[in-house]
Amino acid sequence: MNTSLNYAYYPGCSSTGTSIEYDMSSRAVCAALDIKLNDVPDWSCCGSTPAHTVDHSLSSALSARNLNQVASIGMDSCITPCPSCLANLKTATHRMEDEAFRNKVNKLLDKPADTRVSTKSVLQILVEDYGIENIRKKVVRPLKGLVVGAYYGCILNRPAELMQFDDSEHPMAMDNIMEALGATVVPFPLKVECCGASFGIPRKDVVMRLSGKLLDTAHAIGAKALVTACPLCQMNLDMRQNQINHANGSHHNIPIFYFTQLLGLALGLTEKEMGMNKLCVSPRTLLDAMANEETIKEKAA
């Protein structure tokens, strides 16, 4: 087992609020797998969508500052659970390859940008650096009986040239992890479709339509739950599920997990550690059913 994995960890703003359970479970899972995370000191918001829609150099300056903070603790490899943060950090690095742009950004910074730091998602290092086979070996509580679909969202793997991870049209990373954890994975045909993202605030109808379609499809293929890797996707599908049902006249009751939450459970971590109580659509019935399956199996043994 590779115990030398060591990264700077950039949680992103959502992790301090709406996706706190993603942060909790990511940290706990990494600890359980002996992956050392070093908190980036004095990190700030990446600027998210609002910053880059207003000004590219300002947006990149925010990311560059955070990358400088990574370098300040002597690290050159940073991971983040959030695809939106990831996109911003990677875009900044990519844009700063252009000297003119880099100079523009540097004018906004106290010290010039350190361009050596590379960024990856928590999902990517689990798959590429830790390895799914190694995860499989660590499973103590298989997710028997859980029928799950993997939903990646539109930016985790795209644009392909920038993200450099998995298949941009048909990613399999989470499908493969869930399969390794013992779950029954149903192929989710809309796995890279947009959930409506931040349109939830200015144009809720868009999210109702797009996320509604995702839930309809999950239901149609028989998925009892979806796993996500994105705070915004999770929020739209989970927190807004009631609104969606209301708007579309549907009756979905599909728990939306972060993949790290289910990974943690399978590794033997507790529901509390995984922040299961933070989910809006209760996974209780589903988790009980899984536990039952296990007890039945134990009794049979």
Q: Which residues contact other proteins (rule: CB under 8 A)?
A: 167-170, 187, 189-190, 193, 217, 220
Kindly state the tokens that stand for 268. Answer: 């033997």
Exposure of 156 in the CB half-sphere (CA atoms within 13 A): 30
Report the residue number, 134 or 168, with the smaller CB distance to other proteins: 168
Nearest to 30 by CA among 103, 120, 115, 112: 120
Kindly state the tokens that stand for 224. Answer: 């009892």
Instruction: Tell the smallest beta-carbon distance from residue 221 to other proteins (Å).
Output: 9
Report the residue number, 217 or 228, with the smaller CB distance to other proteins: 217
Report the residue number, 210 or 225, with the smaller CB distance to other proteins: 210
Report the residue number, 39 or 167, with the smaller CB distance to other proteins: 167
Instruction: Tell the smallest beta-carbon distance from residue 220 to other proteins (Å).
Output: 7
Report the residue number, 50 or 159, with the smaller CB distance to other proteins: 159
Instruction: Tell the smallest beta-carbon distance from residue 238 to other proteins (Å).
Output: 23
Instruction: Tell the smallest beta-carbon distance from residue 149 to other proteins (Å).
Output: 12
φ/ψ of residue 208, rounded to 5: -60, -40
Report the residue number, 30 or 237, with the smaller CB distance to other proteins: 237
Q: How many CB atoms lie within 10 A of CB 165?
A: 19
Instruction: Tell the smallest beta-carbon distance from residue 249 to other proteins (Å).
Output: 19
Instruction: Tell the smallest beta-carbon distance from residue 20 to other proteins (Å).
Output: 33
Residues in the chain: 301
Report the residue number, 206 or 291, with the smaller CB distance to other proteins: 206
Tell me the CA distances in angstroms from 95 to 67, 90, 182, one per residue in order.
14, 9, 41
Nearest to 240 by CA among 232, 225, 100: 232
Instruction: Tell the smallest beta-carbon distance from residue 197 to other proteins (Å).
Output: 17
Q: Is 196 exposed, middle or buried (0-12, 13-18, 19+ CB in 10 A)?
A: buried
Kindly state the tokens that stand for 282. Answer: 């209760």
Q: Which long-range contacts (CB under 8 A, 24 or more apart) does 267-273 make?
A: 267/29, 267/32, 267/33, 267/138, 267/139, 267/140, 267/141, 268/32, 268/140, 268/141, 269/25, 269/28, 269/29, 269/32, 273/24, 273/25, 273/28
